[in-house]
Structure 1
Amino acid sequence: MTGDGYRDRWVECGERGLRIRGYYFPWGTKAIPYGRIKGVRRVDMDVFSGRGRIWGTSNPRYWFHLDPRRPSKTSGLVLDVGGYVHPFITPDDPAAVEAAIRAHTARTAGGGA
């Protein structure tokens, strides 16, 4: 991670927005401008709330990007982008991604860093 940015195999926080690799079938990337992110919420995962989900969903309100290492992770982030479906991401460092998103969305809303 550098500055307000972040990057791992599946999640990247850049200057303009968040990029989620492996979001669309078969390997498509979802780009979300920071201005579309209305909220971010950290979620503890267990076998019934995401750890067993490698890709896709069993609950139409949440969409999990591809992450073969998700079963070994304990927390993820749910993004509110103003729609019915909320992207559920599991970066390697959820705290760093949450901080980067909050820093960028504060700037987008005019709140400063």
Structure 2
Amino acid sequence: MADKQDFSDPNTNCFSNKYVTCYSDRLVIHQYYFPIGDKTIKYSDIHSCDLLSMKELGFLNSKTWGMGLSPIWWHADFHRHSREHYILLDTRSWPKIGVTMDDNDTPIVYKLIKEKSNPKN
């Protein structure tokens, strides 16, 4: 019988793909900084988390890596413009953070972030 994971341990990996790793207390966004570098965000620092349509954002407002014509910084995702949705994180600092990944993983990561960043709801 397999042991249950202890999700109260901050080093427990709750979910991971090539774009993000969700731990019990923080989110790590891979290839956030140019030319290489991850960004770590504590869930407690996330003021809001929204799941939005890429179609509504518009092509010029996103970028493969960095900032387009909107105040959103994007991690590296060379398939971003073919994604259906993105997660927008507001940590009350400029710019906001846009996160994309494989469409099947996006709702899972969104739900996890929402639960961890606002445990009262």
TM tier relative to shorter chain:
0.7 to 0.9
Percent identity for Structure 1 against Structure 2: 26
Structure 1 residue runs of 4+, over 3 Å off?
49-52
User: What are the equivalent positions in structure 2 for 1:25-44 lying under 5 Å apart?
Assistant: 25-44=34-53
What is the TM-score when the length of structure 1 is the normalising length? 0.82
Aligned with 1:22: secondary structure?
A: coil
Cα 1:16–1:52 change in 2 (3 A) is closer
Separation in 1, partners of 2:117, 2:41: 12
Q: Deviations over 1:19-52 (max 9, x none)?
A: 0011001110000000100110111113824696
Distance 1:98 1:87 in 2: 13
- How many residue pairs get aligned? The number is 108
The one-letter code of the counterpart of 2:77 is D
User: What's 1:78 paired with?
Assistant: 88
Is 2:106 aligned against 1:97? no
Contiguous gaps of at least 5 residues in structure 1: none
What is the aligned counterpart of 2:68 among 58, 62, 70? 58
Greater relative CO (CA pairs within 8 A, separation 6+): 1
2: distance between equivalents of 1:52 and 1:32?
A: 21
Counterpart in the other structure of 1:87: 97
Structure 2 unpaired stretches of 5+: 8-12
Change beyond 3 A, Cα 1:59–1:13 = same
**Based on CA coordinates, which of the two structures has the bigger radius of gyration?**
2
